[in-house]
Every structure is written in C-alpha cells, then in structure tokens.
C-alpha cells in the first residue's frame, strides 16, 4: 500500500511537471506570436506615418480586451462568457488601422488625380520627372506631400527613381498609383512623351471616378438594406430585453442559447458577405 501511494505521488508529480512545462512552452509561443502581431501593427502604422510605440499599442490591446470583457459580462452576467469574448478586443486595433488606411488611401487618390496634371505641366515647363514630383509634393497637404517627399529623399540618397516609385506603390497600395508607375516605366524604357501620357492618365482616372460615383449612387439602396438587415436582430433583442428581460437573458446563460447566438452571428456574417459582394462593383 505504501509503495502504491508512493508511486501515485511520483506519477502525480511528474504529471504536474509535464503540464507546467507544456503550459510554459505554449505560453512562450503565444507571447512570441503576439509580439510579432504587435510588431506588424507598428510597421503598418509606420507606413501611414503614425508613430506609435509598441508598449502603447500593447496598452491599447489590453484596454480593448478589458472593454469587451466588461461589455460581455454586463450583458450576460456570466464571467465565463466575458472571458470567452475577451480576445475579440485584439481585433479593435486591427480594425482601427484598417479604417485609417482606407481613409488615407481615399484622400491620397483624390489628391493624386489632380497632382498628375500638375506633374504634366511641370514637365512641359522643362523640369525633369524627379524635379516635377518634388515640386508638386511641396504644394499639397498630407498624405500626398508625405509620400512624394519620401520619393524625393530616396532619389536624393541615390535610389533610382523607378525603384523609389515602386516602393511608393508598396507603401500606398493604390490602383491609380500603380497605373501611373507602370505607364511611367514603360514610356521611359520605350521612349515617348511623358506629359501627354500623364494627361491621358489624368483623364482616364477622372472618368473612372465619375463612373464609381454613379455606381455608389445606384448601389446606395442595397447598402442601406444590408445595414438595416444587419442591425435588425440587435435592435429587436434590445427591445425585447426592455419589454421582458426573461425572454433574452436565457440566451446568454443557457448552452442552447449560446448555440442560438452563434447561429445568429454566423448567418448574419454570411448575409453581410453576400450583400457586400452584390453591391460592390469594381471599375
């Protein structure tokens, strides 16, 4: 009996040791993965000329997780559901970066459409392409001035203009800019009139922008319907909770209710995906 108890104690100790070691290994892997995620977010913000220290981004992630935990706990009155929803807070900085990038890209495209005409006029006055880009960048606000000034700095340090423009495409991710850089490279290699080519590109971009505006107007009703359909279950749940909380609370406290909520979120996501595919038309 004594040997049996001793063997059980040894096996229990070994099991605890293995669990601790494996848990520490998984924790280390998770820490490295999160560190890489934060570093990637910092690089993305650097491309947007937004300087954020990694530790401040870490605090933002933790604050987002805590806010999601508090919101889920207040809605469900369950600590388990709050902890389960807590990691969703890590998506908040990513979504914020995505929104900032989209707004910056839209502003850049609007500025760049007019800047192409200015570059063409500068070439007609006798300036080189590098000088024209630097001159135009000085007369526009951010983000166009930031990107064109970076091109001027790179070329001043000895980077070829073609490579600097390719780096600009990678940073911005604009289809209009890709068209400009590709056409510039082709004309410089094969020979041709850059100013006339830039005038043609400017006219093409203006016509495409006009068509995109018409498409946005025609698909506005579909987008509004998607928003209404997506918010209807949430609004209905809030109304029912105000009328009779006992009808809604079991959804957050009972396992069957969790399954129903998961199905609702899944079907809502599928519907939003298809509505987005229908109303989104690329030109």
DSSP for 9-32 reads HHHHHHHHHHHHHHHHHHHHHHHH
Are 167 and 136 members of one domain?
yes
Are 177 and 232 members of one domain?
no
Neighbouring CB atoms inside 10 A of 155's CB total 19
Give me the CATH number covering residue 200: 1.20.81
Instruction: Work out the end-to-end distance of the chain between its first and last CA atoms, rounded to an integer number of angstroms.
Output: 81
Print pLDDT tens along the chain (283 aa). Answer: 554 444 445 544 444 444 444 444 444 555 666 677 777 777 777 777 777 777 777 777 778 878 877 887 777 667 777 777 777 777 777 788 888 888 888 888 888 888 888 888 888 888 888 888 888 888 888 888 888 888 888 888 888 888 888 888 888 888 888 888 888 888 878 877 888 888 888 888 888 888 888 888 877 877 787 788 888 888 888 788 778 878 788 877 778 888 888 888 888 888 878 877 777 776 6
Are 230 and 258 members of one domain?
yes
CA angle (239 as vertex; 237, 241 as ends), nearest 5: 70
Are 191 and 235 members of one domain?
no
Which of 101, 103, 139, 104 has the alpha carbon at shortest distance from 118?
139
Are 191 and 230 members of one domain?
no
205, 227, 253 - which closes a domain: 205
Which of 192, 218, 2, 202 has the alpha carbon at shortest distance from 121?
202
233 lies in some domain = yes
Are 180 and 234 members of one domain?
no
User: Scanning the structure block, which residue is given the tokens 């890209």?
Assistant: 105
Are 163 and 241 members of one domain?
no
Which of 34, 136, 50, 52 has the alpha carbon at shortest distance from 89?
34
pTM: 0.69
91 lies in some domain = no
**Domain, as residue range, for 122:** 115-205
173, 205, 237 - which closes a domain: 205
**How many domains is the chain built from?**
2
Which of 81, 231, 109 has the alpha carbon at shortest distance from 169?
109
99 lies in some domain = no
247 lies in some domain = yes
Are 169 and 137 members of one domain?
yes
Q: What is the phi/psi pair of residue 49, to 5°?
A: 60, 35
164 lies in some domain = yes
Tell me 143's DSSP state.
T
8 lies in some domain = no
97 lies in some domain = no
Neighbouring CB atoms inside 10 A of 175's CB total 15
48 lies in some domain = no
155, 182, 205 - which closes a domain: 205
């Amino acid at each position: 009996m004594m040997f049996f108890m001793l063997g059980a104690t040894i096996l229990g100790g070994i099991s605890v040791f293995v669990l601790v070691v494996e848990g520490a290994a998984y924790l280390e892997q998770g820490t490295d993965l999160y560190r890489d995620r934060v570093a990637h977010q910092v690089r993305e913000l650097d491309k947007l000329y937004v300087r954020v220290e990694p530790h401040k981004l870490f605090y933002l992630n933790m604050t987002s997780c805590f806010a999601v935990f508090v919101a889920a706990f207040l809605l469900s009155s369950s600590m388990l559901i709050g902890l389960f929803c807590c990691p969703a807070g890590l998506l908040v900085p990513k979504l914020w970066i995505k929104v900032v990038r989209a707004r910056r890209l839209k502003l850049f495209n609007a500025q760049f459409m007019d800047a192409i005409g200015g570059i063409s006029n500068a070439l007609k006055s006798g300036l080189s392409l590098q000088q024209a880009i630097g001159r135009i960048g000085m007369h526009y606000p951010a983000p166009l001035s930031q990107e064109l000034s970076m091109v001027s700095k790179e070329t001043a340090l000895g980077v070829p203009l073609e490579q600097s423009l390719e780096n600009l495409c990678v940073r911005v991710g604009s289809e209009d800019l890709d068209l400009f850089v590709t056409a510039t490279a082709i004309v410089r290699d094969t020979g041709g009139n850059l100013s006339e080519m830039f005038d043609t590109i400017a006219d093409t971009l203006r016509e495409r922008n006009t068509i995109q505006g018409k498409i946005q107007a025609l698909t506005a009703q579909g987008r509004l319907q998607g928003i209404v359909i997506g918010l209807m279950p949430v609004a209905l749940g809030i109304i029912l909770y105000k009328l009779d909380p006992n009808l809604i609370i079991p959804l957050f406290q009972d396992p069957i209710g969790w399954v129903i909520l998961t199905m609702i979120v899944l079907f809502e996501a599928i519907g939003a995906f298809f509505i987005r595919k229908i109303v989104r038309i690329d030109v």
